[in-house]
């Protein structure tokens, strides 16, 4: 890596690893592979049961941070406190709901010597699920028709317009395919209770599901693009297995998005290739996906590129990657002492046991 990366401290969020996993564990794994022993990774967790906190050989120390609802000021204060102990070089936020606060404090953290490489508030809002259809029309991208739902009556109106099956989506996360009014109503109430209003009802497009992980340089170009076809999908629509593929149309689509929006940082396009052969964008996630380690395994380590950009370096654009690289996610019972959980719960800090066997 060179002397400029001899000693570096990176803080990451998104350490949960349930059936809707956050990207933090995969980001940390990719960075460990890129920077080696000179890298110190600090975990930033919202809850004491985020699984990545306890993975040996991954996170050196974890600190609890306030929920996004506490606001940007509370976040800035806590990061400054952690920085006084750890001297953080780069922070990589990995949750949609926290990005607004992190973007708000980006300039303030830079004065402390903490770098990030994030989209602007304008970019964040333009790709929001509630604005996706409008963005598609503006940029000439194929996006399924949708309706914003704030009550049960609007749900039935949307069903008449869009027809069943419908995809019912939470404001931030989760999606359910509803085949009738009963399942649509159930999904509406569950997702609105969990993520708030509005809920999105989206036209269902049958076809092959594909995701693209990319990183924009903020000037209208992508530094890396890696497409992946889903092989196994959970009941929450998450890829549990996938394989890298080669497709010039997918590369061109990501380049079109970055060129039109001048996207800054990592992002993911969730796509379906319909029966008509067209590519439809289902979602645009403003951060790395949970499967981001696959980009490193395929030859384009996107978390590494993000750190380089955050630190002011200009990495070269990567075009080559290995196709046919497949990931299969699995569950692992990581056994730890209850005292570690108690320490994290009571004091909001936990130093990982360096003598434990690493599972990387």
What percent of the chain stands above pLDDT 90? 86
Question: Which CATH number applies to 123-127+206-328?
Answer: 3.30.470.20
Farthest-apart Cα atoms in the chain, separation:
62
Question: Which CATH number applies to 3-116+331-351?
Answer: 3.40.50.20
The alpha carbon of residue 177 and the mean position of all alpha carbons in its chain are separated, in whole angstroms, by 22
Residues 106-119 pLDDT 10s: 999 999 999 999 99
The alpha carbon of residue 220 and the mean position of all alpha carbons in its chain are separated, in whole angstroms, by 20
Beta carbons of 146 and 201 less than 8 angstroms apart: yes
Check pLDDT > 50 for residue 212.
Answer: yes
| pLDDT-derived band at 356, boundaries 50, 70, 90 | low
**What pLDDT is attached to residue 238?**
81
* Per-domain boundaries in the chain: 3-116+331-351, 123-127+206-328, 145-203
Range of weakest confidence among 6-10, 20-24, 255-259: 6-10
Residues 89-101 pLDDT 10s: 999 999 999 999 9
Check pLDDT > 80 for residue 170.
Answer: yes
The CA distance from 214 to 269, in Å, is 8
b/e per residue 14-37 (b: at least 16 CB within 10 A): bbbbeeebbbbbbbbbbbbbbbee
Residues 299-340 pLDDT 10s: 999 999 999 999 999 999 999 999 999 999 988 898 999 999
The mean pLDDT value of the chain amounts to 93
| pLDDT-derived band at 354, boundaries 50, 70, 90 | low
CATH topology for 145-203 is: Dna Ligase; domain 1 (3.30.1490)
H or E stretch at 14? none
Q: Model pTM greater than 0.85?
A: yes
The phi, psi pair for 337, rounded to 5°, reads -80, 140
Tokens of 73: 């000021």
């Amino acid at each position: 890596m060179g002397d400029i990366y001899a000693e570096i401290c990176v803080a990451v969020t998104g350490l949960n690893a349930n059936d809707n996993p956050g990207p933090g564990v995969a980001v940390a794994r990719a960075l460990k592979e890129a920077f080696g022993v000179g890298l110190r990774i600090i975990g930033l967790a919202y809850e004491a049961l985020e699984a990545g906190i306890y993975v040996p050989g991954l996170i050196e120390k974890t600190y609890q941070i306030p929920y996004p609802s506490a606001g940007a000021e509370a976040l800035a204060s806590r990061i400054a406190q952690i920085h006084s102990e750890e001297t953080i070089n780069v922070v990589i936020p990995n949750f949609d709901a926290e990005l607004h606060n992190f973007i708000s404090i980006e300039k303030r953290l830079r004065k402390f010597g903490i770098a990030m490489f994030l989209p602007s508030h304008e970019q964040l809002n333009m790709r929001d699920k509630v604005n996706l259809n409008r963005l598609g029309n503006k940029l000439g991208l194929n996006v399924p028709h949708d309706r914003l739902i704030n009550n049960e009556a609007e749900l039935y109106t949307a069903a008449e317009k869009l027809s069943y099956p419908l995809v019912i989506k939470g404001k931030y996360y989760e999606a359910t395919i509803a085949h009738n009014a009963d399942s649509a109503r159930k999904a509406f109430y569950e997702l609105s209770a969990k993520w708030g209003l509005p809920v999105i009802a989206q036209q269902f497009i049958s076809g092959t599901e594909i995701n693209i992980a990319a990183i924009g340089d903020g000037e209208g170009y992508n530094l890396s693009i890696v497409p992946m076809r889903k092989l196994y999908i959970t009941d929450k629509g998450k890829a549990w297995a996938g394989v890298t593929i080669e497709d010039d149309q997918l590369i061109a689509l990501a380049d079109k998005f970055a060129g039109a929006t001048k996207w800054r940082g990592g992002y993911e396009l969730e796509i379906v290739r319909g029966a008509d052969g067209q590519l439809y964008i289902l979602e645009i996630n403003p951060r790395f996906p949970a499967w981001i380690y696959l980009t490193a395994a395929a030859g384009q380590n996107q978390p590494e590129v993000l750190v380089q950009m955050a630190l002011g370096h200009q990495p070269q654009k990567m075009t080559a990657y290995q196709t046919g690289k497949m990931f299969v996610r699995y569950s692992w019972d990581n056994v730890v002492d209850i005292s570690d959980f108690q320490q994290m719960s009571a004091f909001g800090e936990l130093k990982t046991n360096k003598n434990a066997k690493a599972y990387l």
